[in-house]
Structure 1
Amino acid sequence: MKFTIIRRLTALVCSVSLLGLLCACAGANDSASRNGAGKGGFADRTLSVFMGRGPAADVIKASLPEFESETGLRVDLQIFSNEQLSTKLTVQLDADSSSPDVFMLRPLEELKLFHKNGWLLPLDDYVRRDADYEFGDFSPSAIDSTTDNGQLLSIPLSTEQQILYYRKDLLQKAGIPVPRTLDELEEAAAKLHDPQNGVYGFVARGQKNALVTQLSSFIFSEGGDFQTGGRASLNSPDTVKGMTRYVNLLKRYGPPGVMNMGWPQAMGIFAQGKAAFYTDASAIYSSAADPDKSAVADKVGYALFPAGQAGAKPFNITAWGMAINAASAKKEAAWTFLRWATSKDLVMRSQQKGNPGARSSVWNDPQGVSGFPKEYIAVVNESIRSGVGHDRPQVISVGDARDVVGDIVIKGLLGEDVQESADKANIEFQLIMDRDNQK
């Protein structure tokens, strides 16, 4: 953690009882907020909040007047694109700025780095002391995404699960049941693979970096993981089996040019009616279900990710979380905002606008799922129960690690031996982990 001279002096002063008054002054911003004139006990103060574009930000922005009226706080909400948000946060936080007080982040990409730099305020005490917040309502795997070294550092805002999309009409015509296992998925993809008539058995992401998150559920369901017990495990038998599954499906039954496909391209193939099966995140389902975007909108089915030898273990992750700046001078006020923004009421409103939240009660409330297909709701609920809380290597240098993992699949698609590639990649990945631990 970065410590400035001022912070060191403040800590020293606070340790001397005769100068206790000066310590109290150091917290004046928060105490002023707590004892102010607002209905919620806050003075007319302003919080700075950074968010990324999306339904959650839209709902929070529209609901701000009621929050400000109830608390006496004013919120300076700034909304950025994903790339702008990451850049802006890095610049602000690296400069030890007290602004923003609250911000969105991508936990599985940024949480470990931000925590290592001391930029995130631990939230364990806040949720522990606040029974009315009902923290236990959040799914455990979503919370796993926002926790590092046993500390809660962010609250889930939106979630994703890996699911299986399929063409109902093609399966019905061929008399094939919806695959429940990865063996059945391979068999069904082989039977429905008909490139001469413009239909491929399977499609998914094939770009080196982008594919890693969708590869994860294949690995988990075979009993593997990217790392085990603090060591790289890319070349373990179970991990290699999951990778080989993914390679075989894409290589044997995928469309041409799959190595250039991220989710928009892969979803495009499926939405055009050119693939029988597609695995990807649940959050992008509207691209398949919306008649304005999909030629097969009325033919799309949703299923739980198929089981491997370890069962069905799709990822269930926090795609976006909200955190408090450790350097904020208004931590109590910041928690009041964060508590409100992730409350049942706001999660309900946000989910009704298409943002999948992490509160189980909202997913089990008819109002909370009113905008989603019935079949989809059941799949998401089951994925939440059985899901794994990460979908990529859990390291600081996530981008480098993803490239190393993705390269194994690329080499497999090019005809190289997956086990041999995994053995080499495992050495590279362990070096990344060791380097991160030395930072």
Structure 2
Amino acid sequence: MVLSLAMTLGLVAGCGAKTTTQPAASEKPYAGTQLRVVFANHPWADAIKAQLPEFEEKTGIKVNLENFFEDQLTTKLTVELTSGTTTIDAMMFRPLQEGKLFAKNGWLNDLTATSQKDKTWDISDFNKGAIGTVTMDNKLYGVPIVTEREILYYRKDILEKNNIAVPKTLDDLLAAAKKINDPSNKLYGFVARGKLSPSVTQFSSFLYSMGGDFAKDGKATVNTPEAIKAYQTYGDLQRLYGPPGTLNMAWPEAFAVFQQGQAAFLTDADSLYTNLTDPKKSTVSDKVGFALFPAGTAGSKPYNITSWALAQNAKSKNQDATWEFIKWATSQEQVLKMQQAGNPGARESVWNNPEGLKNFPAEYASTVKESMKTSVDHDRPLVISIGPARDAVGGPIQAAIQGKDVKAAADIANAAFQVILDKEK
């Protein structure tokens, strides 16, 4: 009876007491976790490294960084991921260079569901073209960190002197290059990459703008009328109005011609613009203009790609903590900081924020924003054997520059590329 009375009194007393709330979840649920993060030697990596103490203080997560040159990074990742390593947590990778290989081998974690859960992080804020580059088989295998597009660089003073408007179409570009071309005074109408493999990426915008692509539904399409017209246009610009030696030019050689004041037009990646605007590198740094890639028969369709992305190792033992790191590094706040440091990001909110544009030339910023609207999410064939594929589809570029039979070269390229596509099936 005494025990029953005590229990009853206890229950009555409990009814008048305040309910005790459960302790809040830890604000640092991953404190003490150590992440191994493998980066490329890249300006973005340098910029984010400077922000790491903030992340570590906020989360209690320790980030152990390793940096490698690009090709060393690819080799390092390939070797370790092949062995099934669990020690790599996050990594920088080039989606169009090794992304398909990494994804097909099951080395990259599918981030589709994870990325859609966090509404505050907001994946819908990322540019469609940039997301397309890191999406394979409708699955998201990376988050964009550095983007680039092909644009038209031009000499403002030369166009003004010759009363020439900025070309809006490829036909306009051909006409303007012809009018300006003056080899006797070492002034050329146009310069671009002509070397076999490097030229493919910059040729791609010509291909898309003419209504073509490298392949469709598993079939090579580099000998279609649209492709042949694109090859011919790219080749004519260099053969008729370009400097000597274009067949051996990658981007450094092509940019050097423009830097030295010897070319009126250049089409190449917008991410390289400081090579032309830096007075220490360029003799025409104050005379450089930026414009949307000229339209072909299908309109202006420059590539707009993710050149570098962040990914999770599918076998990492720290999946949740790794996602916290990737989410932080690609947050709106960090993308703004990275872009202010000169690394073009993928968040449209940052491109629409004056603070995200203030360190870019105004004409450059407006050109990039416009380029994002009609762009294509790849700048090369979408295959694992990217080296042989680029060599194959690059053949007609060199044929066009040399004035050879472009259709014949395109037929050969198409057959060679189809062999690669069939093998990968």
Q: Give the TM-score normalised by the residue count of structure 1.
A: 0.90
Identity percentage over the alignment? 50
The secondary structure found in structure 1 opposite 2:264 is strand
Q: Does 1:69 align with 2:57?
A: yes
TM-superposition CA deviations, 1:246-289 (whole Å, max 9, x none): 01001111110111110011001001100000000000000011
What is the CA distance between 1:229 and its match in structure 2? Answer: 2.0
| Contact persistence 1:42–1:333 (CA under 8 A) | yes
* Corresponding residue to 2:95 among 107, 111, 119: 107
The correspondence of residues 56-205 of structure 1 with structure 2, limited to 5 A, is 56-205=44-193
TM-superposition CA deviations, 1:377-424 (whole Å, max 9, x none): 110000111111000001111111000011111122223211111111
What is the CA distance between 1:87 and its match in structure 2? Answer: 1.2
- Residue identity matched to 1:400: P
Q: Does 1:323 align with 2:307?
A: no
Give the structure 1 partner of residue 194 of structure 2. 206
In structure 1, the gaps of 5 or more residues are 1-36
The correspondence of residues 243-258 of structure 1 with structure 2, limited to 5 A, is 243-258=231-246
TM-superposition CA deviations, 1:113-156 (whole Å, max 9, x none): 01111101000011111111111110001101000011000000
What is the CA distance between 1:38 and its match in structure 2? Answer: 6.7
The correspondence of residues 206-285 of structure 1 with structure 2, limited to 5 A, is 206-285=194-273
What is the CA distance between 1:40 and its match in structure 2? Answer: 2.5
Partners of 2:47 and 2:405 in 1: CA distance: 49
Partners of 2:115 and 2:104 in 1: CA distance: 22
- Residue identity matched to 1:339: K
Q: Does 1:301 align with 2:282?
A: no
Partners of 1:414 and 1:70 in 2: CA distance: 59
| Contact persistence 1:92–1:99 (CA under 8 A) | no
Residue range with higher mean Cα deviation, 75-84 or 303-312:
75-84
| Contact persistence 1:55–1:350 (CA under 8 A) | no
The secondary structure found in structure 2 opposite 1:162 is strand
Task: Mark the structure with the bigger radius of gyration.
Answer: 2
- Residue identity matched to 2:345: G
- Residue identity matched to 1:351: Q
| Contact persistence 1:51–1:85 (CA under 8 A) | yes
Partners of 2:50 and 2:127 in 1: CA distance: 26
Partners of 2:104 and 2:81 in 1: CA distance: 12
Give the structure 1 partner of residue 277 of structure 2. 289
Partners of 1:65 and 1:200 in 2: CA distance: 50
Give the structure 2 partner of residue 378 of structure 1. 366
- Residue identity matched to 1:355: N
Give the number of aligned pairs: 403
| Contact persistence 2:116–2:122 (CA under 8 A) | no
* Corresponding residue to 1:359 among 347, 352, 361: 347
TM-superposition CA deviations, 1:214-241 (whole Å, max 9, x none): 0000000000000012211000111111
Partners of 1:413 and 1:295 in 2: CA distance: 27
| Contact persistence 2:395–2:410 (CA under 8 A) | no
In structure 2, the gaps of 5 or more residues are 1-24
What is the CA distance between 1:341 and its match in structure 2? Answer: 0.7
Give the structure 2 partner of residue 50 of structure 1. 38
Partners of 1:181 and 1:66 in 2: CA distance: 47
Give the structure 1 partner of residue 9 of structure 2. none
| Contact persistence 2:36–2:90 (CA under 8 A) | yes
- Residue identity matched to 1:373: P
| Contact persistence 1:401–1:432 (CA under 8 A) | yes
The secondary structure found in structure 1 opposite 2:295 is coil
Partners of 1:200 and 1:379 in 2: CA distance: 24
| Contact persistence 1:38–1:44 (CA under 8 A) | no
Partners of 1:304 and 1:59 in 2: CA distance: 28
Partners of 1:177 and 1:40 in 2: CA distance: 58
- Residue identity matched to 2:260: Q
- Residue identity matched to 2:104: K
Q: Give the TM-score normalised by the residue count of structure 2.
A: 0.93
Partners of 2:136 and 2:305 in 1: CA distance: 14
Partners of 1:38 and 1:257 in 2: CA distance: 63
Give the structure 2 partner of residue 427 of structure 1. 415
Q: Does 1:409 align with 2:397?
A: yes
- Residue identity matched to 1:74: K
What is the CA distance between 1:352 and its match in structure 2? Answer: 0.7
Give the structure 2 partner of residue 5 of structure 1. none
| Contact persistence 1:38–1:72 (CA under 8 A) | no
Partners of 2:361 and 2:52 in 1: CA distance: 30
- Residue identity matched to 1:65: P
Give the structure 2 partner of residue 347 of structure 1. 335
- Residue identity matched to 1:282: D
